[in-house]
């Protein structure tokens, strides 16, 4: 158990809809990272927050947004969903402000299916 | 061309075999290199981390980095069925960027 909690584990929705994925980092970790994992693209970095502030941005679509709250949990909002958004979404946390040594602790992911 | 290339496999070996997993990369600025293991329906977990060229050993696992060839490898000795997982290489060059390979699915058969 990595200590990172993600909800929901599975989500099925329709095109055009909006969903919110939630992540609670390991106790004491200030950084939260969001990744998208699909079969053809592998693990793609979306965005990172550190202590409530956006720290780094990857290949995140404009339809997606995220935030980190004062209690350090984070939410990833996906809107105007398309079939191609179907993927596993992982949250990871670390104590560092950046990738540092690369040790990220991943949650078990939220599987999104867009029909 | 992707910055990090990794053969997705799948790779199937008998128990006890030596497994070799590889990644190539194009960005010479990458400074640190990692291998993550991902079991089915789980998130990735860090397996090995190296900062320089050469070998690093941890039990049955050896990570090898050749910066001149832009090539990294993970060797698993005496492979076990419990090693069956997807192995992802990852690499980074600053504090705010890290790239993952697509992952190689490994099955070790008893």
Q: What is the pLDDT along chain A (115 residues), one digit of tens a residue?
A: 889 999 999 999 999 999 999 999 999 999 999 999 987 778 899 999 999 999 989 889 999 999 999 999 999 999 999 999 999 999 999 987 776 666 889 999 999 999 9
For position A46, what pLDDT does the model report?
95
For position A100, what pLDDT does the model report?
67
For position A101, what pLDDT does the model report?
65
A21 beta partners: A76
Compute the nearest-CA separation of A23 from chain B (Å): 13
Q: Which residue has the tokens 């799948």?
A: B10
For position A23, what pLDDT does the model report?
98
Give the separation between CA A32 and CA A52, rounded to whole angstroms: 9
Give the separation between CA A58 and CA A45, rounded to whole angstroms: 5
For position B51, what pLDDT does the model report?
82
Give the separation between CA A29 and CA A20, rounded to whole angstroms: 21
Q: Please give the C-alpha separations between residue A103 and each of A87, B36, B75, in angstroms, as whole numbers.
A: 23, 9, 20
**pLDDT, tens digit, 9 for 90 and up, residues B19-68:** 999 999 998 888 889 999 999 989 999 999 888 788 999 999 999 999 99
Chain A residue numbers with beta carbons less than 8 Å from the beta carbon of B101 are 42
Compute the nearest-CA separation of B100 from chain A (Å): 6
Measured from the Cβ of residue A89, the count of other Cβ atoms closer than 10 Å reads 24
For position A59, what pLDDT does the model report?
84
Residues 19-78 of A with CB under 8 A from B: 41-45, 48, 55-56
For position B7, what pLDDT does the model report?
86
A95 and B CB contact within 8 Å: no
Q: Which of B44, B4, B47, B51 is nearest to A33 (CA)?
A: B44
Chain A residue numbers with beta carbons less than 8 Å from the beta carbon of B6 are 42
For position B41, what pLDDT does the model report?
87
């Amino acid at each position: 158990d990595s200590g990172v909690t993600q909800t929901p584990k599975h989500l099925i929705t329709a095109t055009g809809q909006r969903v919110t994925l939630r992540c609670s980092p390991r106790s004491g970790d200030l950084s939260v990272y969001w990744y998208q994992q699909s079969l053809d693209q592998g693990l793609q970095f979306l965005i990172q927050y550190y202590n409530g502030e956006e720290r780094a941005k990857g290949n995140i679509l404009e339809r997606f947004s995220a935030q980190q709250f004062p209690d350090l949990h984070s939410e990833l909002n996906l809107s105007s969903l398309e079939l191609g958004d179907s993927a596993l979404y992982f949250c990871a946390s670390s104590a560092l402000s950046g990738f540092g040594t690369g040790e990220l602790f991943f949650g078990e992911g939220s599987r999104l299916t867009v029909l | 061309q992707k910055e990090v290339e990794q053969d997705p496999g799948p790779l199937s070996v008998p128990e006890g075999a030596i497994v070799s997993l590889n990644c190539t990369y194009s960005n010479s600025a990458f400074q640190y290199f990692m291998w993550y293991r991902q079991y089915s329906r789980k998130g990735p977990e860090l397996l090995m981390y190296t900062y320089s060229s050469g070998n690093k050993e941890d039990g049955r696992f050896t990570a090898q980095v050749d910066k001149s060839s832009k090539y990294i490898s993970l060797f698993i000795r005496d492979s076990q069925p419990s090693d069956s997982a997807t192995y992802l290489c990852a690499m980074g060059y600053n504090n705010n960027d890290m790239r993952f390979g697509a992952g190689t699915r490994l099955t070790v058969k008893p």
